[in-house]
């Protein structure tokens, strides 16, 4: 059974940095699909600039015309902070315990994994795929609980991700596109257009609804 990817984010707004990395992981690991999961209330950062429903609408627009990356709105309909562990439990209820699942995170997010709610449980529920962008440093603190998890769980064999439902750590290189949602928001506030940083359909919706002004 091919693994399913889970790519969470604030997506405020979604951009080509997210889309291209997700696509590269999808292709490199030959995943069944990747669920793009916008969070309702991010636990680790300031509140997003636009409503969760609107951010999801932008994700849906960005994903139009293909089926590899899909929108998953389960965090939007759940009360309280969007803890990844709860999202994985909910996905397990939908997909069962045999389907391999890969939680896809940026390397910055991975190095802060010990601050995530019930982080050791993540490995019981899914594999963790770390997107490594050229130039980004690998900095797991030596002697930390995360370093021990890496030591015990890291694999360099991508097929291993399809043979077990959860438990491995795998590092996947992705193209470093230096695009961020904060850069796009700042640019729009200055009255500029985020042309070619995110798909045209996303720009059209941002303009239509007057977002990030």
Residues that bind ligand ATP in the complex, under the rule CB under 6 A: 9-12, 17-18, 21, 105-106, 108-109, 131, 177, 179-182
How many CA within 13 A on the CB side of residue 155? 17
Least separation in angstroms between CB 143 and ligand ATP: 25
Q: β-strands 169-174, 127-133: how paired?
A: parallel
Give min distance, CB of 175 to ligand ATP, in A. Answer: 8
In the complex with ligand ATP, which residue's Cβ is closer, 163 or 175? 175
The least distance separating ligand ATP from the CB of residue 13, rounded to whole angstroms, comes to 9
DSSP structure class, residue 154: B
The candidate with the shortest Cα–Cα distance to 13, out of 63, 49, 64, is 49
Compute the least distance from the CB of residue 181 to ligand ATP, in Å. Answer: 3
CB atoms within 10 A of CB 106: 18
Smaller CB distance to ligand ATP: residue 1 or 174? 174
Nearest to ligand ATP of 88, 131 (CB atom):
131
Q: Which is nearer to ligand ATP, 46 or 157 (CB)?
A: 46
Core vs surface per residue 12-42: b (16+ CB within 10 A) or e:
bbbbbbbbebbbebbeebebebbbbbbbbbb
């Amino acid at each position: 059974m091919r693994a399913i990817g889970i790519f969470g984010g604030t997506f405020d707004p979604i951009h080509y940095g997210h889309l291209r990395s997700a696509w590269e992981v999808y292709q490199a690991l030959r995943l069944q699909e990747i669920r793009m999961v916008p969070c309702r209330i991010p636990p680790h950062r300031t509140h997003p600039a636009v409503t969760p429903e609107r951010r999801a609408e932008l994700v849906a627009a960005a994903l139009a015309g293909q089926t590899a990356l899909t929108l998953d709105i389960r965090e939007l309909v759940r009360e309280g902070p969007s803890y990844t562990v709860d999202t994985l439990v909910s996905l397990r209820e939908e997909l069962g315990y045999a389907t391999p699942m890969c939680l896809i995170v940026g390397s910055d997010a991975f190095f802060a994994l010990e601050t995530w709610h019930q982080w050791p449980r993540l490995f019981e529920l899914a594999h963790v795929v770390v997107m490594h962008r050229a130039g980004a440093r690998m900095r797991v603190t030596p002697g930390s609980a995360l370093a021990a998890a890496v030591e015990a769980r890291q694999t360099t064999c991508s097929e291993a991700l399809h043979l077990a439902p959860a438990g491995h750590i795998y590092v996947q290189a992705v193209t470093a596109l230096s695009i961020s949602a904060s850069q796009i928001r700042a640019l729009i506030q200055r009255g500029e257009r985020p042309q070619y940083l995110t798909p045209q359909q996303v720009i059209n919706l941002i303009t239509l609804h007057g977002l990030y002004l």
